[in-house]
Structure 1
């Protein structure tokens, strides 16, 4: 029989509290966090240091409106990571995190103001520079993946992909050559890859400082119309084909990178995006 002391804390829990230097702790009126780190999705101190250095400054701190927040940013981000990784409901957030409604409102507000996207893009550039690359890529890989939609997915935002036998939505993704996501759009599953590609490229190239010149893709993106749509943004599309006569699984040059990324996001994906991509104001699919 398990003793009370055995079940009083989750596996891996520690008694040490974590110091936090987020904006709310520095300029707000809250005390130190009392929640120890014990969930696998919690950021380590090293990870938080990277995130903290890339955090966008909240509007309330720059005098652009709003009131100071009441919850630690580190705890809020850990709570969002917990929901995304476990695929759980917002209402099912463990009680040792801030109230679920506060976490949900935090996520919605940050998506609406572009903070989540800004944070992700800063971390992506930082990781590229850490690996000896330029902050912005000149080459990328494109692909799409159809996934079944839940019963709650509205009929006007879902469709049937007859080739993959999927009834739901389709993720159209653009990654750099390291497999880091650059852009994501979500459409009904019956939208062909080539129809969504121009919007995907346009969304990525719309932001200043983009240096993309070449995109590798599969044969779904071939054709003169597709090439012209890419050329509008100064981007060339190069089709990577399977060798004639090959059967079964084959690792294809360049394309394997985006396939690996799609595999990693098979269950769910939360990629920071601009408002209007979907109902959450960010990129959610699944």
Structure 2
């Protein structure tokens, strides 16, 4: 190979590398701006986004954008049953701001930590991109007041939406779905021994063998929020964790709809957590 040909090859390689770097930068997440609440001011430099699906209804799907001073692990947040809990576990210095973007592109509120401040319906949100894989925009408010505390913000974001990991479960939710309905059946019957086996790590605390009063209160508390039997619209499994989107009627004839978290242990699939809401019919 001649020196000229070798030089040209190296130049092509450098150009390709530069192109890949540029493409990676274009796909990278960016966030900027600030949030001020009283004397506290959080300067923002990073953004991530994930999808939240509180039910199987398409119009309830929303995008959560998190802005912070330090980078957040978007994959960990996307994999979590509760995105807010996953962000809090990462404990970003100075706090974070969570923006909620509804399925129709409107805002569904923001949350500012560490002050624990919720707001909605204030300021101007303008989206430049609102796609399945990426969201970009700006939300700003020049002057606001909450019970005498002034606040203002200018929030800018341009970030890919981290996909939830895992694969779809078969119709009916597969083994996790069958385990959830078996747990509901045991709950309806008051089969405490079965609930201890199928209720996950906290079942021993909910149903202690030496405290009938606690067992009674636990049964009442769980029955109040769970359907008697669930129709499982779909499910997704990631390793030893599965999320089910369910709907059913509880013992008070109230329709419940939402998500259920199941975990696989040596004893099989166990109920870990439910996030269900009542449905107006």
Q: Does the alignment reach a TM-score above 0.5?
A: no
Report which of the two has the higher share of helix: 1
Return the TM-score normalized by structure 2. Answer: 0.26
Report which of the two has the higher share of strand: 2
Return the TM-score normalized by structure 1. Answer: 0.26
